[in-house]
Structures are given as C-alpha cells and as structure tokens.
Amino acid sequence: MRWLGWLLAIPVALLIVVFAVANRHEIRLDMWPLPWAMDLPAYLAVLGALAKGIVIGAVAMWLSGFRGRRNARQQRRRAESLERQLRAAQSVPLPAVPLPAAPLPVAAVTDDRAAT
C-alpha cells in the first residue's frame, strides 16, 4: 500500500512544483479593513490558501469524529473490565458437589394395551 501513496504523491508534488515555477510573479494582498498589505509570489498565495483549507478541513473532521472516538474508548474500557471479571471468575475454584451414590431405580413400565 505504501507504493500506492508514492504513486499518487509524486505526480501531485510535480504539479505543485510546475505551478510554483510558472507563477513566480509578485502579487499584492491587501488586508482590506486593516491597513496592512503584503507582496507575495502568486504560488505562495494560492498554495497557502489551499494549505489553510486543508488544515481547517482536517480539524473539522477530527472534531466531528469526537463522539465516535469517545464511544469506542468507553466500549474498550467496558470490554477490559468484563475481561478482568471473567478472568477473576475463572480463577475461583468451583465448590465440590457430592454426587449421589447410586442411580435411582427405574420402575417397570407396563403397557396394558400390549397384553391384549
């Protein structure tokens, strides 16, 4: 599976490099309500916005999985507790139960219909 990751990462990295080389010219980013402005290469502005979106999306996905991770953690703790209880119950020797000395006699069954 690792080779599949490399198979996908290499073309994406190549595209990013080609994009960065083709878009080296400077652009001016104005922070409109604020009095600040920055001169950045175009590729840095675009790739920075893309990276920011990926990070925000990853954080949102991580936060949305909180309930599932919490339930899994609770179920794991419950399973561990039940396993400890089972091991404790299996380590306790069973009390000896006396068996009857001889089987009880079975009365002879007669069938009145068979005699006729």
Q: Could you read off the pLDDT of 41-63 as tens digits, one per residue?
A: 999 999 999 999 999 999 999 99
Tell me which DSSP letter residue 32 carries. T
Structure-token match 């994009």, residue found = 19
**Banded model confidence at residue 94, pLDDT cuts 50, 70, 90:** confident
Instruction: For residue 37, give the 3-state DSSP assignment.
Output: strand
This prediction has a pTM of: 0.59
Q: According to the model, what pLDDT value does residue 25 have? A: 93
With both helix axes pointing from N to C terminus, report the angle between 42-64 and 2-22 in degrees, rounded to the nearest 10. Answer: 140
